[in-house]
Amino acid sequence: MEEYQAHQLKRTRAVIRQLEAEQERQRERDRKRRIEVSWKLQPSRADGGVALLHRANCGLYTKEIGYLDAMEAQIAMAEEGIECCQICRPQD
């Protein structure tokens, strides 16, 4: 009986590890999908300078914080002092 319960516990722990690994993979896929349809705003480096709007996966601005959705990106493009990155072209 004890051996059977030890075997069941071992199998249960293996299933838990598999489910946790799948959950982590799903979180990573969701994060990547969110980045694909997001934008980032790079602050200006000096007073009176311009901020740059990038696609979230733009290699010129790699910070992974402050993602904007489509509506927020449209609002940012209309603001004075914000320009679109000429490399990733977030306005397209």
| Phi-psi domain of 48 (left: phi exceeds 0; alpha: psi -120 through 50; beta: other) | left
* pLDDT at position 48 over 80: no
pLDDT value for 91: 85
User: Average pLDDT of the chain?
Assistant: 90
Percent of the chain with pLDDT over 70: 100
Q: Determine the Cα–Cα distance for residues 92 and 87; give it in Å rounded to an integer.
A: 11
Q: Which two tokens stand for residue 14?
A: 């293996």
Q: Is the pTM of this model over 0.85?
A: no
61-67 CB contacts, 8 Å cutoff, 24+ apart? 61/85, 65/40, 66/40, 66/41, 67/34, 67/35, 67/38, 67/39, 67/40
pLDDT value for 37: 86
**pLDDT tier, 33 (very low <50, low <70, confident <90, very high otherwise):** confident
